[in-house]
Amino acid sequence: LLMHRNGQWEWTRAPGVSPSPRYQHAAVFVGARLHVTGGVLRGGRGVEGEAAIAVLDTAAGVWLDRNGLVTSSRTSKGHTEHDPSLELMRRCRHAAASVGVRIYIYGGLRGDVLLDDFLIAENSPLQSDINSPILTSERASTVTSPRTNHSNLSSYNSTPTLDGKPETPPSGGMSMDKNSMEKLAEASAAEAEAASAVWQAVQAASAAPAEETSVSDDNSQVAETNSEGSDTEADVRLHPRAVVVAKEVVGNLGGMVRQLSLDQFENESRRMIPLHNDLSYPTKRFTRQKSPQGLHKKIISVLLRPRNWKAPANRRFFLDSYEVGELCYAAEQIFMHEPTVLQLKAPVKVFGDLHGQFGDLMRLFDEYGFPSTAGDITYIDYLFLGDYVDRGQHSLETITLLLALKIEYPENVHLIRGNHEAADINALFGFRLECIERMGENDGIWAWTRFNQLFNYLPLAALIEKKIICMHGGIGRSIHSVEQIEKLDRPITMDAGSIILMDLLWSDPTENDSVEGLRPNARGPGLVTFGPDRVTDFCKKNKLQLIIRAHECVMDGFERFAQGQLITLFSATNYCGTANNAGAILVVGRGLVVVPKLIHPLPPPLQSPETSPERTNSY
């Protein structure tokens, strides 16, 4: 921010080449030097090595670096191993302040480890000493922590803190970060294996013609009736600012809400997906009885508590198998009479993957309104894009509340199917096990089977004002018109749905806008990613202006693709307990202006009811 001679202020780009892109970092001034510490990169990986500290000398107009004038944008693992001070700076969401020539840094996160250490460093008094920036040069600074060697420890004890007293050595460690990365890798591998199994089942059960499954013949599948679509009006617009809620709630007040320009969000990579295989599950039909009038109201009264809900210490689920059956029957009767592609009117709130993270659903309801006459259901609809179960600890609460809300507000609450709403997938990724653990083996398997029978009736996509199409996965290789989706008959299983259902629930966009066409998908053989050219072509031929889809974890909770013609939406925060991502919803207003609204992951709890000794010893 520069001040001209006439007294006017103007924002301008900092001189030189800036350090690696990052977010969730800290920045403080000491004199004319701006010190940037820590943060995370694309994909949620922490900034490491020399890149963890970047210093801009605003007087000289250069970025400082121990090896040169430009701060390195790449990490140096070998150097980090020999310099404990650099490893100490591998953190994000920490606090930083400067007093005089000293910089004080406290806390933050390293992976999923909540840090409580206190670091102190001292800036070089010589502004001309360009090759010795703060925190990166041994001559200019001393980073102190009880985790370093004995000489640093003595320096730490002799350095006054903000209150003039020596700090006690903090507790915690860094080993969880490696474990977190391993967990994500295992989840991705399991997902790829499951996707491969599902694809093989589709191939075995489907007699789809060769041209339908051929990547090279995709573009010839479009009906001629949709060839005229280039004259669509640019009515759908993404609002230039996103609504962001603070990470923590203070007292009885909601989180502090602020707005951020979309330019401040990094275009994060988003590959953190899961899944698996077991196509054999009970197929017995259950005796259908009329649902009791008060069951869904009972569920809503117990679970819809956005401000006050807490994870129960007793994991036993409050519904029995009979009530689960009655709930599923009542919701199923509604889904059976709905079209495969829902036709909705704005305004609509759109939710991405929840994956059993019921606490995040309650936070989103608390901050941005919830479906109740005491909330905002009288003037806005709710649309959920699937993946309600698996991975999280509260899949039962998530799916039962959404079904109860569907029964209570059938014209205002809308659910479509995700790829985890299938028995062969949720048998392996947590939902089946949760049902057994929380309801007993016999009742749990019964309830799990009944839920999966219901899932086969879920609609598969939704159109908002005939200009925005919402789906779980994407258009893949085979989907060229909305009519193809509409022609899918329900109830439908994955193995009977052919390539169209697979693409609809499983496909992803390519890595970025520069990768066009169709490419193999890392999820498994037979699956594809589709480029921005496919998105543009699909929207043009179907007279659409936007695709909203879920299915992938994105760091900011939402991510634009194909120059804004597609948005990926993910509502669960800190996916799999390791991704550290934000969660988001999209609010489509009456004027078709789309506003992202975000929540950030909460800090790890010191102790939760599910990790307490009582909980551990009882199971």
Instruction: In whole angstroms, give the CA distance from residue 462 to residue 415.
Output: 9
As a whole number, mean pLDDT of residues 125-134 equals 40
3-state SS, residue 384: strand
Tokens for 267, please give them. 């275009």
Within its chain, how far is the Cα of 172 from the centroid? 26
What type of residue is 357? Answer: Q
3-state SS, residue 267: coil
As a whole number, mean pLDDT of residues 496-523 equals 92
Q: What is the pLDDT of residue 177?
A: 54
Residue 463 near residue 341 (C-beta atoms within 8 A): yes
Instruction: In whole angstroms, give the CA distance from residue 493 to residue 497.
Output: 6
Which of the two residues, 179 and 223, has the higher pLDDT score? 179
Confidence of residue 209 (pLDDT cuts 50, 70, 90): very low
Q: What is the pLDDT of residue 216?
A: 40
Q: What is the pLDDT of residue 456?
A: 97
Residue 102 near residue 121 (C-beta atoms within 8 A): yes
What is the β-pairing status of strands 461-464 and 341-344? parallel
pLDDT in tens, 376-387: 999 999 999 999
Q: What is the pLDDT of residue 238?
A: 83
Among 107, 246, 237, smallest CA distance to 172 is for 107
List C-alpha distances in Å: 388 to 41, 181, 334, 400: 28, 24, 18, 10
Q: Phi/psi at 135 (nearest 5 deg)?
A: 70, -5
Among 111, 278, 282, smallest CA distance to 190 is for 278
List C-alpha distances in Å: 361 to 5, 213, 371, 607: 52, 37, 12, 21
Residue 577 near residue 602 (C-beta atoms within 8 A): no
Inform me whether the pLDDT recorded for 502 exceeds 50.
yes
Inform me whether the pLDDT recorded for 29 exceeds 80.
yes
Instruction: In whole angstroms, give the CA distance from residue 310 to residue 313.
Output: 9
Confidence of residue 408 (pLDDT cuts 50, 70, 90): very high
Instruction: In whole angstroms, give the CA distance from residue 485 to residue 481.
Output: 7
Burial class (CB in 10 A: 0-12, 13-18, 19+), 397: buried
Across the chain, what does the average pLDDT equal? 78
User: By mean pLDDT, which of 132-141, 210-219, 280-289 is the weakest?
Assistant: 132-141
3-state SS, residue 75: coil
Catalytic residue list contains 420: yes
Backbone CA torsion sign across 571, 573, 578, 581 = positive
Q: What is the pLDDT of residue 149?
A: 37
Inform me whether the pLDDT recorded for 438 exceeds 80.
yes
CB atoms within 10 A of CB 483: 13
DSSP alpha helix (H) spans, 260-357: 295-303, 321-336
Confidence of residue 228 (pLDDT cuts 50, 70, 90): very low
CB atoms within 10 A of CB 463: 19
Instruction: In whole angstroms, give the CA distance from residue 377 to residue 403.
Output: 15
Q: What is the pLDDT of residue 604?
A: 76
As a whole number, mean pLDDT of residues 407-416 equals 98
Quick one: three-class SS letters along 125-158? CCCCCCCCCCCCCCCCCCCCCCCCCHHHHHHHHH
Which of the two residues, 507 and 190, has the higher pLDDT score? 507
pLDDT in tens, 554-611: 999 999 999 999 999 999 999 988 899 999 999 999 999 999 999 999 987 665 555 4
Instruction: In whole angstroms, give the CA distance from residue 481 to residue 222.
Output: 7
Inform me whether the pLDDT recorded for 425 exceeds 80.
yes
Q: What is the pLDDT of residue 240?
A: 75
Tokens for 78, please give them. 């070998």
List b or e across 280-300, with b for residues whose CB sees 16 or more CB atoms inside 10 angstroms.
ebeeeeeeeeebeeebbeebb
- Among the listed residues 25, 420, 480, 600, the single catalytic one is 420
Within its chain, how far is the Cα of 471 from the centroid? 16
Inform me whether the pLDDT recorded for 69 exceeds 70.
no
Among 431, 432, 451, smallest CA distance to 441 is for 432
Superfamily of domain 180-265+273-301+319-604: Metallo-dependent phosphatases (3.60.21.10)
Which of the two residues, 561 and 13, has the higher pLDDT score? 561
What is the β-pairing status of strands 9-10 and 593-599? unpaired
List b or e across 231-252, with b for residues whose CB sees 16 or more CB atoms inside 10 angstroms.
eeeeebebbeebbbbeeebeee
Q: What is the DSSP letter of 477?
A: T
Residue spans per domain, the chain: 2-173, 180-265+273-301+319-604
Q: What percent of the chain has pLDDT over 70?
A: 66
Q: Phi/psi at 443 (nearest 5 deg)?
A: -65, -35
Among 316, 323, 318, smallest CA distance to 286 is for 323
